[in-house]
Structure 1
Amino acid sequence: MFFIVVYQNALLVLITLPAAVAAAAGAPLTPWDAVWAVLFLGALAGETVADQQQWEFHRAKARAGGALAPGFVTTGLWRFSRHPNFFFEQMQWWLVYAFGATAAVAGGAGWWGGVLNPSLVGAALLTVLFIGSTIFTESISAGKYPAYAQYRGQTSMLLPLPPRARRDASVTR
């Protein structure tokens, strides 16, 4: 009850706080806002592609009778990250924070006042929530699919990176 009612609702307020910070600053748009917007659209596209790839894998798995080796998606963006959808969603919320921070700086709060504005808390707490969720999700996958240990050893957890060479599956990052 605490997690759903209190934590998640407080988190929703905190992750949207950058909009209030930007509005209160009353600053004009800057070139950084264009950079953040382009990166945000890229992150939105990345999350959409990752979610679609996962959806297609699960549809194929269902058509195959519920079993499709190795049991989880490992192609497309999932070749570079075990959770590319989580990475791109996190990136979007950090970019929302960047909009607010840029507006605060442009509005005269100074560099430290802009960067360390209260809206930082929302993005940070959401990241903590996602990391906890990711660790939990991975414990389920590792228990369900023997091949997941090797996938962990070769593929970055969040940050999309080139796959590592095959090595001992007990080594993860």
Structure 2
Amino acid sequence: MPLDWPIQLCVFSTAATYIASIITGNVSQVDRLWTLLPTIYTAYYALLPLFPTYQPFLLFPYNPLGSTDYNPRALLMFAIVFLWMCRLNYNAHRRGLFNPKGEDYRWAVLRKQIPPWLFQIVNLTFISAIQNVLLLLLGLPTRTVALFQPRSSLETSDYVLASLALLVLFLEFTADNQQYAYQTYKHAFLAKEKGATDVKPYDESKQWIGARLSWTPDDARRGFITRGLWRYSRHPNFACEQLFWWIITFFPLLASGPPNLPTNADFPPLRIIIHALQFPDLHHPLLNGLRTNLLDAGLILLPGASHSLLFLFSTLYTEAITSSKYPIAYNAYQKRVGMFQPSMTAIKAIALKFSGKRAQQDVDRLVWGDSQESKKE
């Protein structure tokens, strides 16, 4: 069964991360696997001919269908996901995520909000199980390509989607770097303001190009970043992350071979549809065929949709925590800047103009600051 080995790995990963979280008291075990598992599942399907046709022992990857040819589209998808992994691993490493004692700050907040027994239920179901299943789903678009689509040359849609994916990765890398540079500046500035002498001063030259923004004391005291890409989206990194996996999801859907999105060629002429609807013997097969095509395409959309749903609820919870820390300033930021889409930022800017000049100035002051350096950008 083509899903046999990925399911084995998913079950093992779920059990291992849950047991490790109980032993260590740290529930960020799955967080560390986010940087690896989607690439492993993608690589498995893209490189399926590499593996033996039998499984010598449990958890050893194998090729149950005996595939002997590589699919160029699947290999391209693997290369793009590998670059995604490199970016995420780099950012996770410098943030200390691979430190065995490091834990996502949101889990510490959640521990204080719910009883211990309920937290353990969340740990087993959502943190360990559901997230591992989602990581498996992210490899399914490559499965669709590798197992069901022709092993033909790359098409125009492949080149367009690959280019978009690289652009999104670049923007996400830039957003990560801007956030990292801001946090470095903020901690150095606030430490100096408190009289600490054991914190290294902020060095702009050590930051990546694109993240060397002219931070101001207003930025540090505000507590959260509103400059660079974060001026147009409250979570540009999250927006890019979702968009990246939607692009991966659309590789099989935009290809010319099935299963793909239905095209005009999949629908009979209107006169035949009208004629078929008058006779049950004709319209039942017609509707069943269309239903099958739409259902296949809908199932392929599941990874992207599930990923976006997770990020939506995760972002809402993250913002609730940030709002509790900076209630006035972050509320102003929410009024001025969209959660994900820059288009919502433009709409919010127009809406603020109708709320009065004084209200707009108050929001802008809280979001951008009063210093002249803030007004230059």
C-alpha separation in 2, matches of 1:110 and 1:133:
30
TM-score, normalized by length of structure 2? Answer: 0.42
C-alpha separation in 1, matches of 2:260 and 2:244:
24
Query: Which residue pairs with 1:109 in the alignment?
Result: 259
Q: Does 1:13 align with 2:136?
A: yes
Residue correspondence of structure 1 range 20-99 to structure 2 within 5 A: 20-24=143-147, 25-28=149-152, 29-65=154-190, 68-99=220-251
Query: Which residue pairs with 1:128 in the alignment?
Result: 309
SS at match of 1:118: helix
Q: How many residues align?
A: 167
C-alpha separation in 1, matches of 2:185 and 2:300:
41
**2:259 and 2:297 in contact (8 A); partners too:** no
4+ runs of 1 displaced by more than 6 Å?
none
Q: Does 1:137 align with 2:262?
A: no
**2:252 and 2:260 in contact (8 A); partners too:** no
* Greater length-normalized contact order (CA 8 Å, ≥ 6 residues apart): 1
Q: Does 1:158 align with 2:340?
A: yes
Structure 1: state its 5+ residue gaps. Answer: none
Q: Letter of the 1:135 partner, please give it.
A: L
**1:77 and 1:160 in contact (8 A); partners too:** no
TM-score, normalized by length of structure 1? Answer: 0.88
Residue 4 of structure 1 is aligned with which of 118, 127, 134? 127
RMSD: 2.0
Q: Letter of the 2:341 partner, please give it.
A: L
**1:82 and 1:158 in contact (8 A); partners too:** yes
Q: CA deviation at 1:15?
A: 1.3
**1:50 and 1:77 in contact (8 A); partners too:** yes
CA shift digits 1:47-95 (9 cap, x unpaired): 1000100000000011012681211000000000000000000000000
Structure 2: state its 5+ residue gaps. Answer: 1-123, 194-219, 263-292, 364-377
> Whose radius of gyration is greater, 1 or 2?
2
